[in-house]
Amino acid sequence: MGTIIRKRDRPRAGGKGFLTLRPNVAGIDIGSRQMHVCGPADEQGQAQLAVFDTTTVDIQACGKWLRELGVGSVAMESTGVYWIPVLELLESGGFEVLLVDTRPLSRVPGRKTDVTDCEWIQTLHSCGLLQSCYRPSDAISELRSIVRMKATLVSNQSDWQRRMQKCLDQMNVRVHHAVSDVSGTTGLAIIRAIVAGERDPRKLAELRDPRCRNSQEQIAEYLTGHWRQAHLFNLANCLKMYEFLSAEIESYESEIKQRLKELTPPGSQDKKAPPLPNKERMKGIKKRGQEEKRQELFRMVGADLTSIDGVGVETAEAVVSEYGIDLSKFAHETQFIAHLQLAPRQAISGGKPIKKGKRKTTGTRTGRALRMAATGLRNSATALGAYYRRISRSKGANVAVFATARKIGTLIYRLLRWGQAYVDEGQQAYEARFQAARLRSFLATADQLGMQVVPNPEAVSG
């Protein structure tokens, strides 16, 4: 049982001058070992405080104490991962739980302590001044946790792939020059053969996949090394770690597909997504073995997110696992874009724009996935690709990536919220529409200046 303090010798933080809209609320400041809880004020207007450990037993005792005070709603900061068990246990106990971002609460005045923090949270919550963070449903939260861990494993696997390449470089075995992808069919076959004891470059080159561009003679030339034992030992262990992570990733893929099936609405189990208009994209999805997951995502969502140019199966998985299919909590697409941290920051003071500092974070997971999707459109013969290149010419590649990711996020919102299907108008149609808009603007400006525009026949014909 926690330590309960019924009254304090000094007034509560922010206790005067605030209009109370919800008196029966509480505020919790959570740490790794303890949480400080501030309940509603007593009859004398003094704070009712308690300190509980963050064990399951004490969290349940905290819920019992809050029920005795008549509390119906609780607010807490999203501190690390410490809030997760507290929130889940209190929600299961019937409380309304408001999870609040730490940034606005860090700006409250006064000396910052655990006690004053929980008092401020309770005061602001009672005045209706706290806004809850976006949280998906429990089923989507579980899917999100699995997808995030899979992304961590993929990142770790990439690290071990780089270590394998380093070991090969130290022995002057240039597998990454012989083949385009060390983790591809030919690259892994060669590495496994080296670990198994094969040293003859001609025999290693015979493992070449028929689709490989380089000939056996070219590959054999790159695979002549000096085979130092220390590097071979490191290579063998790096390969073990890489293949172990591959098996774990496959396990996560199976679990994700099973979760998608469970989240599929009744009556949609037999639906099938139509093939993509772009045959090359369709071929790439099948080559990577992602067609089954694409179909599962389609059945769960009811729409094909990969129909949007640049959005692959992994990007669609990231969006669905972070937000689910219900975006009604975002009343407008601008709110969704802002939550993705893809909205431009317009810092204005005194009517003038002020210099903006660099962002301290790399953005949300979905925002990063959409920026990666936008990067892949730089050479695409689509309307989005033309949009990327137009922005890039005038403002640079970094702004083009950000702006194109924002546009993709808008298309995803419209598809999930309103069912508005994406149709690619094509590169030529987009550029013609853009040139027509430029011409209208130019003619309007000339008309305002009292001038007449005369087309140049030679330029038009050329």
Which residue, of 239, 263, 287, is where some domain finishes?
263
Residues 317 and 216 in one domain: no
Non-local CB neighbours of 117 within 8 Å, separated by 6+ positions? 29, 36, 77, 105
Q: Quote the pLDDT of residue 185.
A: 84
- Strands (DSSP E) contained in 42-118 are 48-53, 73-77, 96-100
* In a domain? residue 49: yes
Which residue, of 203, 230, 263, is where some domain finishes?
263
Residues 398 and 449 in one domain: no
Q: Are 424 and 382 in contact (CB under 8 A)?
A: yes
Query: Based on C-alpha coordinates, what's the Rg of the chain?
Result: 29
Two tokens at 166?
A: 């380093």
Residues 157 and 206 in one domain: yes
Residues 411 and 292 in one domain: yes
- What is the per-residue burial (b if ≥16 Cβ within 10 Å, else e) of 151-189? bebeeebeebbebbbebbeebebbbeebbeebbeebbbb
* In a domain? residue 351: no
Residues 197 and 316 in one domain: no
* In a domain? residue 356: no
* CA–CA dist 36, 20 (Å, integer): 21
Please write down the long-range contacts of 246-249, taking CB distance under 8 Å and 24 or more positions apart: 246/157, 248/153, 249/150, 249/153, 249/154, 249/157
Non-local CB neighbours of 275 within 8 Å, separated by 6+ positions? 282
Give the residue numbers spanning the domain of 243: 139-263
Q: Are 312 and 373 in contact (CB under 8 A)?
A: yes
* In a domain? residue 354: no
User: Is 26 strand, coil or helix?
Assistant: strand
Residues 314 and 226 in one domain: no
Two tokens at 24?
A: 């029966």
Residues 371 and 400 in one domain: yes
* In a domain? residue 216: yes
* In a domain? residue 215: yes
* In a domain? residue 382: yes
Q: What is the CB neighbour count within 10 angstroms for residue 421?
A: 12
If phi over 0 gives left and psi between -120 and 50 gives alpha, with beta otherwise, what is residue 342?
alpha
Domain count for the chain, please give it.
Answer: 4
Which residue, of 228, 263, 298, is where some domain finishes?
263
Q: Report the DSSP beta bridge partners of residue 18.
A: none
Q: Are 78 and 29 in contact (CB under 8 A)?
A: no
* CA–CA dist 409, 412 (Å, integer): 5
Tens-digit pLDDT string for the chain (462 aa): 567 665 444 445 555 567 788 889 999 999 889 999 999 988 777 778 999 999 999 999 999 999 999 999 999 988 788 899 999 999 999 999 999 987 777 777 766 788 888 888 998 999 988 888 888 888 999 999 999 999 999 999 999 999 999 999 999 988 888 887 888 888 899 999 999 999 998 898 888 877 787 788 888 888 888 899 999 999 999 999 999 999 999 999 999 999 999 999 998 888 999 999 889 999 999 988 999 999 999 999 999 999 999 999 999 999 999 999 999 999 999 999 999 999 877 777 777 777 766 665 677 999 999 999 999 999 999 999 999 999 999 999 999 999 999 999 999 999 999 999 998 888 888 888 888 888 888 889 988 999 988 888 776 554
* CA–CA dist 140, 305 (Å, integer): 17
* CA–CA dist 134, 329 (Å, integer): 8
State the amino acid at position 213 in one-letter form: R
Residues 83 and 155 in one domain: no
Residues 382 and 438 in one domain: no
| CATH number assigned to the domain comprising residue 59 | 3.30.420.10
| CATH number assigned to the domain comprising residue 213 | 1.10.287.4070
* In a domain? residue 353: no
Residues 7 and 102 in one domain: yes
Residues 7 and 95 in one domain: yes
C-alpha dihedral (436, 437, 443, 446), degrees to nearest 10: -140
Task: Please give the DSSP secondary-structure letter assigned to residue 132.
Answer: B
Residues 104 and 150 in one domain: no
Q: Give the residue from 242, 215, 70 showing the smallest Cα distance to 155.
A: 242
* CA–CA dist 100, 271 (Å, integer): 39
Task: Please give the DSSP secondary-structure letter assigned to residue 133.
Answer: P
* CA–CA dist 250, 335 (Å, integer): 35
* CA–CA dist 359, 347 (Å, integer): 13
